[in-house]
Amino acid sequence: MDDAERRADFTAYVRAREQALARLAYLLTGDRDAAEDVLQNALAKVYRHWERVRAAELPDAYVRRIMVNESNSRWRGLLRRHESPSSHVLEVIDPPGVVGLDPTASIDLWRHVQGLPTQQRAAVVLRYYEDLTEAQTAEVLGCSVGTVKSHTSRAISALRTRMSEATA
Amino acid sequence: MSDMDQRLKRALGEHTEGVRVVADLAERAIARDRSNKRRELGVAALAAGLVLAVAVPMGWGALRASSVRPLPVGPSQSTTAPTGSPSAPTNTPPSAPTPTAIPTLTADGSPAPVNLRFATGEPTGTTKVPYLIGDVIHDQSRTIRIQAEGRWGSLSRLSNDGWLVTDGDTLVSTVLDSTGLPLTEITGTTRVSASGLLIAASDVRGSLRAYDNLGAPVASLDVKTCGCSSGGSSGYEVAGVVNTTVYANRGDLEASVAWDVSTGKTRRLPFRLSVVDPATETAAVLTPGAKARTSCLELRDLLTLRTRWRLCGPLLPRTFSSNGLYLMATGYIDGLDDSQLNPDGTFRYGGLVVVRTSDGSLVLEGGGATGAGGSPVSYRMGDDSKLVVQVGSATGLRGLQRCTLEGVCEVVAPDSPRAVDIPEGEDPYTLSDN
């Protein structure tokens, strides 16, 4: 595969999956700027190893894993270029509200999800948004199924407590 | 499925409904990859490159760890103590002064004593730091045209008046003779010793390789010795070279290795290296701070492993001065906790902060809120303690300036456009790494 073909192949993959990946990045970070950074860095790494990624049976699983790792390791910091602050990759519009869910409660729940420890939040996002099984989630997080169970149950327990405290 | 499960699913779904990609994401990712490669080439492997754990057999059988041949040993690096009395830290005082206490400072955003004042106008200054623009190397009054094709992203001087240049797209480095003629190629991320005698590379498989100043292989350290495959990481990632010792990070682990290519011996270090200083055999190391998304910058002795000082706050190390007296860092760091930002959400520090290595105190800042005339993009400080700064403007142009530690700058080379007009666009000037 020459460089032009590689680029075209990668571009086609991104175009097909970009909305889903953008939403995952946003859920993992809860912030547009951070989501943009995670998304671009993850895809940059995917591009560098594109031959291996496309050869994988489930490329999305690799991409998710890179995104989660990116999100978790961001304390190391990456240089941000400031020359084009208006040049955003993502647009985030406030949600209209969910039928059957009190808008305030929805916002509170979202806020509490963002307050979860990184691994717990990632487990919750992968299980409840991406609908991954515990085994698939374990693969993405690079941990055991038992650890996924533990992360998820602790997260749900914490969310229940915080929501009940909020309504008390 | 419990009520909480259902509410959670709905809330997550709801909060992603308004998320849309509004730019060419593939193009931006490709540009980010190029930008990351250049950063890996030019300053330090700051971000651990996560490489998929898919083994790719490579034909490197000809080079084995045991195939070490004698390496020309250059003059040892001298360590010079800072002149003058160290100024008191501008921030909180060191922790308890017990013999074993690590002096700890906090970068709380207090202004550095000096702010860079970038110049305008035509070039009036010169610099001893070689730089590359297009395919021409500028070495003081000399210019050398590279007689090979490439999008050059790094430049290092070799001891025989030759050069090592690296293509930022392919990570293939080319060894040039003194006239710019290519001699041979080296694959992977490279670092060159301060003397220019030794080239170290981490190849795409994660093995370490050492070459002499003509690009001839002298030793290798196989990825199998890394002991870092369980983390889904790529193997060794070269971080720096001190005389005949190659320092490399071990995959994504918070650990590194010192490999003496003249003896083949290795020594493991219990921390990850951000930037290595060949003049004092120390390294800048980032460690997690007390809270999530905070960090501390430590100066670690690579021989004794002692921590000389710790500076906690939003600073990311990028390069040491040639004489080891100063460490250059940036305050532009993504993903910081709100506690590490100013109350209005802006960065505490600009794109360049100069830290004195003797005591961790901040001596100069450039590009912050009070900075004038541009934003520092890349920089080097020679052994004359003069900074050479690639200065970016809001229009995307880049110029080269030479600045003193008193903050006075003069233009060295004129404004030039970036290759691509996006945040990850290519900077026109490449400063020599050694």
Q: Could you report the per-residue pLDDT of A140-151, keeping only the tens digit for each?
A: 887 888 888 988
Report phi then psi at B404, rounded to 5. Answer: -90, 170
Name chain B contacts of A11, Cβ cutoff 8 Å: 26-27
**Residues A125, A60 share a domain:** no
Instruction: Select from A51, A66, A93 the last residue of a domain.
Output: A93
How far is B396 from B417, CA to CA, in rounded Å?
6
- Please answer yes or no on whether A109 and B8 come within 8 Å at the CB atom: yes
**Residues A164, A106 share a domain:** yes
Domain of residue A25, CATH code: 1.10.1740
pTM of this prediction exceeds 0.90: no
Residue of A nearest to B292 (CA): A75
Name chain A contacts of B232, Cβ cutoff 8 Å: 65, 69, 142
B424 — pLDDT class (breaks 50, 70, 90): low
Contact residues, A window 129-158, toward B, CB-based 8 Å cutoff: 129, 142, 156
Name chain B contacts of A66, Cβ cutoff 8 Å: 50, 52
Torsion of CA A152, A129, B28, B393, to 10 degrees: -70
Q: Say if CB A83 and CB B426 are below 8 A apart.
A: no
Residue to mutate among A63, A128, A139, A167, with most B CBs inside 10 A, is: A128
**Residues A45, A3 share a domain:** yes
DSSP letter assigned to residue B341? B
Under DSSP, is residue B376 helix (H, G, I), strand (E, B) or coil?
A: strand
Q: What does each C-alpha distance from B120 to B64, B133, B227, B378, B393 come to in angstroms?
A: 53, 20, 52, 18, 11
**Burial of residue A100, with CB atoms counted within 10 A of its CB: 0-12 exposed, 13-18 middle, 19 or more buried:** exposed
Bridge partners (DSSP) listed for residue B274: none
Report phi then psi at A109, rounded to 5. Answer: -65, -45
Would B20 be classed as within a structural domain? no
**Residues A147, A166 share a domain:** yes
- Please answer yes or no on whether A27 and B15 come within 8 Å at the CB atom: yes
Name chain A contacts of B12, Cβ cutoff 8 Å: 27, 110, 113, 124-125, 128-129
**Residues A19, A99 share a domain:** no
**Residues A144, A66 share a domain:** no
Instruction: Select from A93, A125, A148 the last residue of a domain.
Output: A93
How far is B231 from B210, CA to CA, in rounded Å?
25
Residue to mutate among A79, A121, A153, A156, with most B CBs inside 10 A, is: A79
Chain A with chain B: Cβ pairs closer than 8 A? 224
Query: At residue B248, does pLDDT exceed 90?
Result: yes
**Closest in B8, B28, B47 to A78, CB measured:** B47
Query: At residue A80, does pLDDT exceed 60?
Result: no
Which amino acid is located at B51 in the chain? Answer: V
**Closest in B23, B49, B335 to A74, CB measured:** B335
Would B329 be classed as within a structural domain? yes
Query: At residue B110, does pLDDT exceed 50?
Result: yes
Higher pLDDT, A119 or B282: B282
Would B208 be classed as within a structural domain? yes
Would B165 be classed as within a structural domain? yes
Instruction: Select from A35, A60, A93 the last residue of a domain.
Output: A93
Q: Provide the ipTM.
A: 0.86
**Residues A99, A52 share a domain:** no
Q: Say if CB B158 and CB B139 are below 8 A apart.
A: no
**Closest in B7, B17, B52 to A101, CB measured:** B7
**Residues A105, A62 share a domain:** no
Domain of residue B267, CATH code: 2.130.10.10
Contacts of B307 (CB under 8 A, 6+ apart): B102, B298, B299, B300, B301
Would B82 be classed as within a structural domain? no
- Please answer yes or no on whether B25 and A23 come within 8 Å at the CB atom: no
The minimum CA-CA distance between B31 and chain A, rounded to whole Å, is 8
Would B183 be classed as within a structural domain? yes
Q: Say if CB B385 and CB B323 are below 8 A apart.
A: yes
Q: Is B385 left (phi over 0), alpha (psi -120 to 50) or beta?
A: left
Residue whose tokens read 């995917």: A46
**Closest in A44, A91, A160 to B33, CB measured:** A44
Within 10 Å of residue B81's Cβ, how many Cβ atoms? 9
Q: What does each C-alpha distance from B174 to B196, B221, B290 come to in angstroms?
A: 14, 21, 43
Q: Say if CB B351 and CB B375 are below 8 A apart.
A: yes
Query: At residue B395, does pLDDT exceed 80?
Result: no
Residue numbers of the domain that contains B233: 109-431
**Residues A107, A70 share a domain:** no
Contact residues, A window 33-92, toward B, CB-based 8 Å cutoff: 33-35, 37, 39-41, 43-49, 52-53, 55-56, 62, 65-66, 69-70, 73-84, 87-92
Q: Give the strand order in the sheet containing B172-176.
A: B152-157, B163-167, B172-176, B182-187
Question: A37-52 pLDDT, tens per residue?
Answer: 889 888 998 898 888 7
**Residues A148, A106 share a domain:** yes
**Residues A168, A147 share a domain:** yes
pLDDT at res. B270: 95
Under DSSP, is residue A43 helix (H, G, I), strand (E, B) or coil?
A: helix
Q: Say if CB A134 and CB A145 are below 8 A apart.
A: yes
Q: How many domains does chain A have?
A: 2
A2 in contact with B, Cβ within 8 Å: no
Residue numbers of the domain that contains A141: 95-168
Would B92 be classed as within a structural domain? no
pLDDT at res. A100: 58
Q: In 3D, which of B13, B26, B35, B9 has the Cα closest to residue A26? A: B13
**Residues A100, A64 share a domain:** no
Would B17 be classed as within a structural domain? no
Q: What is the mean pLDDT of residues B367-379?
A: 72
Query: Is the dihedral angle over the CA atoms A69, A74, A75, A77 positive or is it negative?
Result: positive
Torsion of CA B176, B427, B37, A26, to 10 degrees: 180
A108-112, B280-284, B412-416 — most confident range: B280-284
